Amino acid sequence: MTDIVSIRGLSISAVIGAYDWERGVEQELIFSVDMAADVAAAARSDDLGDALNYASVAETVSEVVRGGKFQLIETAAVRVAERLLAEYGIGWVRVEVVKPRPAEGFAAAITIERSA
């Protein structure tokens, strides 16, 4: 059995994009993250100390993205996945990044999966 811990709709303003005009502005990115984590200990104890801390994961995602100033959402997704796998003891992660493009009438998105 695999338990999945998720964060949905994490909105982060960051420098992202390959075009010159994008390098001087922040744009919204929306992240959804699914992580394979054994929740049995947390369920038994009902103690936050035994759980994967959602707030900490969200903070880590924000830190990676804001600090990276990536050109591509693909790079942002991979860097987030690498960091979460390294820091949280999870065996698998799925990261979705959505970059809304309202002026163009669409949103660009990528979803990746990585394992430890």
Structural domains present in the chain: 4-115 (3.30.1130.10)
Identify the band that residue 2 occupies on the pLDDT scale cut at 50, 70 and 90. confident
99 is catalytic: yes
What does the alpha-carbon distance between residue 61 and residue 11 come to, in Å, rounded to a whole number? 10
Which of 5, 99, 102, 105 is labelled catalytic? 99
Q: Read off the pLDDT of each residue in 30-47 and give the average, rounded to a whole number.
A: 94
| The pLDDT value given to residue 1 | 57
User: Using one digit for the tens of pLDDT, what is the confidence trace for 52-90?
Assistant: 999 999 999 999 999 999 999 999 999 999 999 999 989
Mode of pairing for the β-strands spanning 106-115 and 92-101 = antiparallel
Mean pLDDT of the chain: 95
Full-model pTM: 0.93
Note the helical H segments in 1-116: 40-45, 54-68, 73-88
DSSP 8-state secondary structure symbol assigned to residue 50 = G
